[in-house]
Structure 1
Amino acid sequence: MTQDQFKDFQQAAQKGEVPDAQNPIFLFSSTNSALLLQLAKGELDARALACIEMMNRGLSVIDGSYVGFAKAEELFNSIL
């Protein structure tokens, strides 16, 4: 995310145009600082963690639709 994109989301939040739960600038607001540092240093793969969470919810990593747990795992394994 660029600084301009960040500012756009910040303005959208201030205007109430984007719910906080859907605003990416708040994604890590409750993340422990040690974990945040690991993400910033590239020691943790945020993309892989997001894909695993989607799989655990039974969601497609392709389009976010509910596909069930077995299919979600199959799709997860096909992209990582």
Structure 2
Amino acid sequence: AYSVFFSQQKDYSFGYRLEYTPDSTDILNTKVEDFTLFIDKGKSYFVSDNFLKRDSILKSLEKSQNFNFTFLKTPNTRFKSVIIKENT
């Protein structure tokens, strides 16, 4: 559902990079993930770039029914939510 929305052009988009520690007991193990904030007509959408890429790849595989090793190369993310805010 999200891939259709995000394929359209937005008024503004801003890139963010999150550096985080998945395990607080292992502070030397940090991860990095990129996010994009889309602003369009009074609403904002904050989403992981890997989530968008993964969703797009899975939708194209679903359409082609080509479930080969490409599925294993899809970007992974721990952030599978899209944060939507209305700017009212």
Instruction: Give the TM-score normalised by structure 1.
Output: 0.30
Between Structure 1 and Structure 2, the one with more strand by share is: 2
Instruction: Give the TM-score normalised by structure 2.
Output: 0.28
